[in-house]
Amino acid sequence: MSTILARIVTTGKTRIKNVYDPTCGSGSLLLRVAKEVEVGDFNGQEMNRTTYNLARMNMILHGVHYRNFDLKQEDTLEHPQHANKRFEAVVANPPFSAKWSANPLLLNDDRYSQYGRLAPSSKADFAFVQHMLHQLDENGTMAMILPHGVLFRGAAEGHIREYIIKDGPSQNAL
């Protein structure tokens, strides 16, 4: 699956400015993108401290200079560490149906405000989608793996899905 995601975000390119994975784990998906094209900067965030440290070590072991990667250890949905950056390629395999706070205050966050609804606290799948769309550069490409439930669940998720399909995220959010 990582090869497919990497090829989707690099199709027709030989070099990309940057790549971002908001749930980077050990960094293997970021490094997989680099097997397809030359990558300027690698960016990612990982909540688990041990896995975060493994990702940094993985970058160095695979020849990525420390100046060319910006990996952060923190909860991506609650405390995004790359909020002011936009990326040419965004890839992820987030934890399926993870729980998150869905704090109503997040409706004021640029990542979620235009949708008018938050993903439910019991399933953060669409929160990851919204976050990634926000981080995507205007001409960027995004690919992620999600559980099939995102295609048919109703309530807030149905509302967010319909908004993405009909209206698309506003360019102001990018």
How high is the pLDDT of residue 154? 94
pLDDT tops 80 at residue 173: no
pTM: 0.94
Q: Rounded to an integer, what distance in angstroms lies between the CA atom of residue 118 and that of residue 69?
A: 31
Residue ranges and CATH numbers for the domains of the chain are 2-99+124-148 (3.40.50.150)
Instruction: Give 45: exposed, middle or buried? Use CB within 10 Å, 0-12, 13-18, 19+.
Output: buried
Q: Please give the distance of CA 114 from its chain centroid, rounded to a whole number.
A: 18
Q: pLDDT-based confidence at 86, cuts 50/70/90?
A: very high
> What is the average pLDDT across 28-45?
98
> What is the average pLDDT across 87-97?
97
How high is the pLDDT of residue 170? 55
**Which residues lie below 8 Å from residue 158, measured CB to CB, with a gap of 6+?**
none
How high is the pLDDT of residue 168? 77
Q: Please give the distance of CA 91 from its chain centroid, rounded to a whole number.
A: 6
Query: For the residues of 75-142, what is the DSSP string, one character each?
Result: -TTTS-SSTT--EEEEEE-PPTT------GGGGGSTTTGGGSS---TT--HHHHHHHHHHHEEEEEEE
Q: pLDDT-based confidence at 6, cuts 50/70/90?
A: very high
User: 113-171: per-residue pLDDT in tens?
Assistant: 999 999 999 999 999 999 999 999 999 999 999 999 999 999 999 999 999 999 876 54
With beta carbons less than 8 A apart as the criterion, state whether 30 and 21 touch.
yes
pLDDT tops 70 at residue 17: yes
User: 38-84: per-residue pLDDT in tens?
Assistant: 999 999 999 999 999 999 999 999 999 999 999 999 999 999 999 99
> What is the average pLDDT across 12-25?
98
